[in-house]
Amino acid sequence: MGRIASGLLLTLAAMFMLMPACNSRPGSGNLEHPRVLRAPEGSPTLWAVAPLANETGTTAVDRVHLTDLLNEQIQQVQGLNTVPVNRVLLAMQHLNMRSVATPQQARELIDVLGVDGLIVGTITVWDPYQPPKLGLAIQLFTAMDARPRRGFDPQSARTASTEAPAPVTSARPMAQAAGIWDAANHMTLNALEHYAAGRTRLDSAYGPELHLVDMDLYTQFVAYQLVGNLLQDERYRLVTADTP
């Protein structure tokens, strides 16, 4: 009887220990909606992201991977859609374009991909060690001509690059944003706290701090902030353009 009683006590103790874990699982009332970005009315709706240039001074950074993470954040903006980064790379390869260095190249790539806008950017700072630090600068170029857009066809991409370019009405990007997000800065940490709400893994012992120990998650946070600033700049452009 003593052994049976001891076994029952151990079972009950284990059940009580599991109760907090059960209450923290999805569906227990601890879930909350994350903040989301919305595209301004009248902004281009289909974007592409060119591979980010690396100006950090280190070759350790995977610029294509960071471009994918940036593209993923733009994909989550309500009212926007994006094409895969691999598709952009393939188009650039067939256009013999190693990078997007001029507004004319940006608009040529826009035309071949058949998108409304192209993000061109640079990685300025990349430090994955605690506290992490990441700097990015991006510009939005949009289709400025009235030619019908072609869908991307690898067979015709080379021919497209030899056609006479459409007139460029502006040499400046439509919107731009840049910044350095240093996790040692309390303003950055405060922004991260707001971003992490609704985006924290409930099974993680780190909680919101997980974004500080996982550089991919920290990059997604920075991309969210950067895209938000870009959309704000685009919204201001659209408002001022409508003002007589």
pTM over cut 0.85:
no
Angular region, 25: left φ>0, alpha ψ -120 to 50, beta rest = beta
How much is the CA Rg of the chain, to the nearest whole Å? Answer: 23
**Alpha-carbon gap, residue 184 to 162, rounded angstroms:** 49
Which residues, other chains included, contact 8 with Cβ-Cβ below 8 Å and sequence gap of 6+? none
Give pLDDT, residue 195: 86
What count of other Cβ atoms lies within 10 Å of the Cβ of residue 173?
21
Give pLDDT, residue 198: 64
Q: What residues does each domain of the chain span? A: 38-242
Give pLDDT, residue 231: 93
What count of other Cβ atoms lies within 10 Å of the Cβ of residue 121?
25
Find residue 48's DSSP bridge partners: 118
Report the SS3 class of residue 172.
coil
Give pLDDT, residue 105: 93
Give pLDDT, residue 244: 56
Please, where are the H alpha helices in 95-185? 103-113, 157-162
Report the SS3 class of residue 48.
strand
**Alpha-carbon gap, residue 76 to 35, rounded angstroms:** 11
Amino acid symbol at 119: I
Asked whether the beta carbons of 30 and 24 are under 8 A apart, the reply is yes
Which residues, other chains included, contact 55 with Cβ-Cβ below 8 Å and sequence gap of 6+? 122, 123, 124
Give pLDDT, residue 41: 79
Q: What is the pLDDT along the chain (244 residues), one digit of tens a residue?
A: 555 555 544 554 555 444 444 444 444 456 677 788 898 877 778 999 999 999 999 999 999 999 999 999 999 999 999 999 999 999 999 899 999 999 889 989 999 999 999 999 999 999 999 999 999 999 999 875 433 344 444 444 333 333 333 333 344 678 899 999 999 999 999 999 888 886 666 555 656 677 888 899 999 999 999 999 999 998 887 777 656 5
**Alpha-carbon gap, residue 80 to 169, rounded angstroms:** 24
- Please state which CATH number belongs to domain 38-242: 3.40.50.10610
Buried b (16+ CB within 10 A) or exposed e, 137-151: bbbbbbbeeeeeeee
